[in-house]
Amino acid sequence: MERRKFIQSVILAGGAVLVSPTGIFASGSKKNKKLVILHTNDMHSHIEPFEANDPKYPGKGGIARRATMINKIREEGNDVLLVDCGDIFQGTPYFNYYLGELEIKLMNEMGYDACTIGNHDFDGGLQNLSDKIDLADFDFINCNYDFRGTVLEGKIKPYKIIKKSGLKIGLTGVGIKLEGLVDRRLYGGVKYNDPVEPLNKVAETLKKEGCDLVICLSHIGYEFKSEQISDLKLAPQTSNVDIIVGGHTHTFLKLGTELVNKIGKKIIVSQAGWAGLILGKIEVVKNAETAEVSMFSDAAEIS
Q: Which domains are seen in the chain, by residue range?
A: 32-282 (3.60.21.10)
Compute the chain's Rg from CA coordinates.
18
Above 90 in pLDDT, residue 205?
yes
Q: Write the pLDDT tens digit of every residue in 84-104.
A: 999 999 999 999 999 999 999
Least-confidence region, from 28-32, 64-68, 245-249? 28-32
Contacts of 226 (CB under 8 A, 6+ apart): none
pLDDT in tens, 146-160: 999 999 999 999 999
Q: List the one residue out of 243, 177, 255, 181 whose CA is nearest residue 216.
A: 243
pLDDT for residue 60:
95
DSSP structure class, residue 272: B
Instruction: Name the amino acid, one letter, at 214.
Output: V
Q: Would you place residue 285 in the very low, low, confident or very high pLDDT band (cuts 50, 70, 90)?
A: confident
> In angstroms, rounded to a whole number, what is the distance separating the alpha carbons of residues 79 and 242?
19
Give the integer Cα–Cα distance in Å for 183 and 63.
29
Is residue 276 within 8 A of residue 66, CB to CB? The reply is yes
Pairwise CA distance, residues 6 & 86, whole Å? 24
CA distances from 250 to 78, 112, 141, 144, 242 (A): 27, 20, 20, 21, 22
What does DSSP say about strands 145-146 and 191-192: parallel, antiparallel, or unpaired?
Answer: antiparallel
